A and B are shown apart, each in its own frame.
Chain A
């Protein structure tokens, strides 16, 4: 089992703190020697997950929290962004419209598109009234070229 390090960050679920998470995950990704483009991808994906929490998770409270757990290993960067808000039916998320017809904010639809496009894998775990966790993984830079497909 490879050595891994865990970084945890908790912020208030308020829009002004999403930039703080971006700075934190940017530092983590830099430490893992991702290139600039990959760091941007990770920042956007993490920011989209946090934005989703800010916009949807805590409609009736102002003291909600966002928890980020980043697990660094030789192989990959695993990131989990969790809230304990209202959750949703993960099989039927909000509209995926990308034409702005939902109003000023796109909501989860486009954010999820970004997460899926920019990360190597992603997953949403959510249940009404129990919160949401969005997990995402970016494979470590070296692992994208060499391909030692050992036991999984």
Chain B
């Protein structure tokens, strides 16, 4: 089984949540816990780095959408680093990127979008 981990980086201008492994019905609760931690700490815009995930399904997208709805109340966004075509495809089919969720190829671009 692929190891799953979520790390929160609070050192930069925006909080970054970096995920490794597969996001599914079993692991999405850990991702949700991390989102809640940064949102409750007052974060508005959040970078979610999915560079090192091998898989995401509807429960993972649901977790991201849930967080996006919460930060939207303070006009915040979820900036998703998502260079893998198979993961992007899932976002595109879901239609999620039309909300306050934006996809980027790497972390510098996502962080640069903060002031865009």
| Chain A interface (Cβ < 8 Å from any Cβ of B) | 15-16, 18-20, 22-23, 36-37, 40, 43-44, 47-48, 51, 54-55, 98-106, 110-111, 113-114, 117-118
Could you tell me if B94 and A51 are in contact, using CB atoms closer than 8 angstroms? Answer: no
| Chain B interface (Cβ < 8 Å from any Cβ of A) | 1-2, 22, 24-26, 28-29, 32, 55, 57-59, 61-66, 68-69, 85-86, 90, 93-96, 99
Cβ–Cβ < 8 Å partners of B59 in chain A: 51, 104-106
Highest count of chain B CB atoms <10 Å: which of A36, A51, A101: A51
Cβ–Cβ < 8 Å partners of A19 in chain B: 1-2, 22, 24, 26
Chain B proximity of A100: nearest CB distance (Å): 3
- Cα of A130 to Cα of B6 in the assembled complex, Å: 39
Tell me what chain A mostly uses at the interface: helix, strand, loop, or mixed. Answer: helix
Highest count of chain A CB atoms <10 Å: which of B24, B85, B93, B99: B24
Which residue of B25, B57, B66, B85 is within 8 Å of A100 (Cβ)?
Answer: B66
